[in-house]
Chains A and B, each alone.
Chain A
Amino acid sequence: MKGMTIIVRKVTQFIAPIIFLFGLYIVFYGHLTPGGGFAGGVIMASAFILQILANGEILDKLRQEESGLEFLESGAILGFLIIAGLGLIISSSFVFFSNFINKGIVGKLLSAGMIPLENIIVGTEVCAAITTIFIALVVFKDEVAL
């Protein structure tokens, strides 16, 4: 796949980190403002997609990166299960997904117990999944035998 012109590359250099930062903001403030793990994860993935589309030549290197993304994705699901299981083991009520950390005051950033942690984990998972789907559909479709 061919890349784009120098103007698009330079603009991408400026824009893509800002999009990624916005995705992180959406994830971290997911329990206070609209958004959350799903929305933030998709926005972070769109930053990577923008980079891949603008700089087309790096695609050949990306053939090796897919195993790392799969590791990230399966690790995120494992982390979600571990957090859910901690509620079963540690908390006094012995319930799966029990929210045992101190809730704090509604409206503060450090509140809501385990919900910010779960937001971060789901954001990682969605970001890795959508980037993998994009790389698979754009890069690996050339590999399919004619």
Chain B
Amino acid sequence: MIPFILCLILFLIGLYGIITQKNLIKIIIGLAIMEYSVNLFLIMIGYIEGGTAPIFAEKFHLNNYVDPLPQAMILTAIVIGLATTALLLAMAIRLYRKYGTFDIRKINSLKG
């Protein structure tokens, strides 16, 4: 049960970064950390002690594999995660070019 709790702590650290940080890049980093922790949590649920990687081979019994379903789901989620991070970074570039800063307080005060 300890790995699950550590995973929850990692998720909460990402949330802490999003809520308290003022720098756009650090907010993006916090979001990515949350995504990583969720990926790791779902993979840990499917782990079986002593199981092998889900590659079919004749000499293993079929019940000895770790659960392949979460792995297949997370495989697509990782690639989508890169795309969304790139989208957020593109928005950060535009904001930096317009206001000359990554600090969201200054961006907020310049909006008038």
**Touch A–B, Cβ below 8 Å:** yes
For the complex, give the distance between the alpha carbons of A126 and B56 in Å. Answer: 26
* A68 at the binding interface (Cβ < 8 Å): no
Contact A34 B83 (CB under 8 A): no
List CB contacts (< 8 Å) of B64-80 with chain A. 75-76, 78-79
List CB contacts (< 8 Å) of B46-85 with chain A. 53, 55-56, 75-76, 78-79, 82-83
Interface size class of A (residues with CB under 8 A): 10 to 19
* B9 at the binding interface (Cβ < 8 Å): no
Per-residue CB contact flags for chain A residues 104-146 toward chain B (1 = under 8 Å, else 0) read: 0011000000000000000000100110010011000100111
Interface size class of B (residues with CB under 8 A): 10 to 19
- Closest residue of chain B to A32, judged by CB? B55
* B97 at the binding interface (Cβ < 8 Å): yes
* B86 at the binding interface (Cβ < 8 Å): yes
CB distance from A36 to the nearest CB of B (A): 8
CB contact between B97 and one of A42, A130, A145 (< 8 Å): that residue: A145
CB distance from A118 to the nearest CB of B (A): 13
A-binding residues in B (CB < 8 A)? 53, 55-56, 75-76, 78-79, 82-83, 86, 89-90, 93-94, 97
* Complex A-B: 17 CB contacts under 8 Å: A33-B55, A34-B53, A34-B55, A38-B78, A42-B79, A106-B56, A107-B56, A126-B79, A129-B83, A130-B82, A133-B83, A136-B90, A137-B86, A137-B89, A141-B93, A144-B93, A144-B94
